[in-house]
Amino acid sequence: MKLIKLLEKIAYTVVQGNENIDVTTLVYDSRKAEKGSVFVCLKGYNSDGHSFAPKAAQLGAAAVIAEDDISLPENVTIIKVENTRVALAYMSAAYFDYPATHLKTVAVTGTKGKTTTVGMIRSILQCGGIKTGTIGTVGIVIGDEITKTNNTTPESYEIQQAMRKMVDQGCGCMVIEASSLGLKWHRTDAIDFDYGVFTNFSDDHIGGAEHKDLAEYLSCKALLFKQCKLGLINTDDKSADKITANATCEIESFGFDRGCDIYACGDKLISKPFLGVHFNTGGKLELSADVPIPGHFNVYNALAALSVCRHFDISTNAMIEGLRKATVKGRVESVSVPGNYTLLIDYAHNAVSMENVLKTLREYHPHRLITMFGAGGNRPKVRRYEMGEVSGRLSDLSVITTDNPRFEEPMDIINDILTGIKKTDGNYIVIPDRREAIRWCIENAEGGDIIVLAGKGHEDYQEIRGVKHHLDEREVVADVLQSLKN
């Protein structure tokens, strides 16, 4: 492949060498450079790729893409661009032969609901016969294969690589969680999305390596609507007007307001055959649907999914069936058990998310609400106090156990949680071994109970002393049930 081919859609200056050279691989990690590679220098919060350019050259890189002045041996071509992150996105698209042109593309942004909405869209489209790949918190999902990623929205190279794989495996659509940082750092650049979705906006991701303030956080989410053809907007959200203020796409709305293009009405919680919510829609789409994910707020996620999917050539029945089958790994995910109780796995790992989940489940009037949880090590201690207090206040019983202790002693973390829980009159027990804690919950379940295994969600590991040990709570539950059966 010629370097000039990879550069065809970006402005650049040849500082040294020749852009007509042959290159083998495209890399942004200098450790992956080899003979003939083109290395792109990315600037991050903690490191600057320009400092690794000599290492890439030493390993055989034929060309380096930079935005700062660098000095390298004469046999290495140096290309200067305004922004190397933008360059990587467009070069990756060219490297994988523009896979987005062979897919319908959907991006979902918002503070909450991205993962659930992406899962619902995928479920609906696949019920309608459209094989759909997704990229997000769960990882890259194509068929039954899940590839883990380091970020909700991975680097542009990984996105383009994933889309190429989707095309090659017969997918007709790609749906991605477009995080504010993913948009800020140009990871989704080079994709002209067919549909962009806005779920909601609230205070989050401020400070440190994330956003300097709330205004920047919102402006980054709004970037999506300069990068898509049609924006589907939750206009019930108070930030909707700011999100769309500078949009260049067409806009459609969803919400409970009857002036929306698609609106919800008649919503109610349901407990059978699953914990979920029922609702009807009106406007440009009329149907009646059940969603097997608890909470009134999931009506918004379902409306977002329907707002997208109605533009595909699929039936209303496929939409209804897709919502009824929708499950999201680690998001109040129901696990099948033989008893007359409900067992859920959820990613809630801080006080805010835990309170949201427990208040939602309280609305279903369980016999007992039992919450099993721990807290992450090497994280602010206040988070543990708050989680203990929330669970003590909202649960009938808290089962305190170990999460990811990292480099801390598990009992030190548990004692911090107990500091919070003792501020309440909530009942609790301590079972440090997470597997044994799950076993205890199952063995002591009573009819009508709702049991939440909180904190791990989609994760399938437990991090102890820098080592990730395999731990998938679904497998643990299956093992416990099998041992009880035996």
Is the pLDDT reported for residue 206 higher than 90? Answer: no
Asked whether the predicted pLDDT for residue 211 surpasses 70, the reply is: no
Tell me, what's the pLDDT at 57? 98
In the predicted model, is pLDDT for residue 203 greater than 80?
no
Q: What are the pLDDT digits (tens) for 422-444?
A: 999 999 999 999 999 999 999 99
Q: Say whether domain 99-325 belongs to CATH 3.10.20.30.
A: no
Tell me the average pLDDT of the chain.
96
Q: Note the pLDDT of residue 289.
A: 98
Could you tell me which CATH number the domain at 333-485 has? 3.90.190.20
Res. 209: pLDDT tops 90:
no
Q: What is the pLDDT of residues 246-287, one digit of tens each?
A: 999 999 999 999 999 999 999 999 998 899 999 999 999 999
- Residue 475 predicted with pLDDT over 90: yes
Average pLDDT value for residue range 213-234: 94
Q: Residues of the chain with pLDDT > 90: what percent?
A: 93
* Percent of the residues in the chain that have a pLDDT greater than 70, as a whole number: 98
Amino acid at 352: V
The CATH number of the structural domain formed by 3-95 is 3.40.1390.10
pLDDT at 411 > cutoff 70: yes
Query: What pLDDT band is residue 46 in, cutting at 50, 70 and 90?
Result: confident
| Contact yes or no for 29/43 (Cβ under 8 A) | no
List the domain boundaries for the chain. Answer: 3-95, 99-325, 333-485
Write down the pLDDT at residue 204.
55
51 Cβ contact list (under 8 Å, min separation 6): none
Across 154-173, average pLDDT: 98
pLDDT, tens only, 30-40:
999 999 999 99
Mean pLDDT along residues 216-238: 96
Per-residue model confidence (pLDDT) at position 205: 47
pLDDT value at position 300?
98
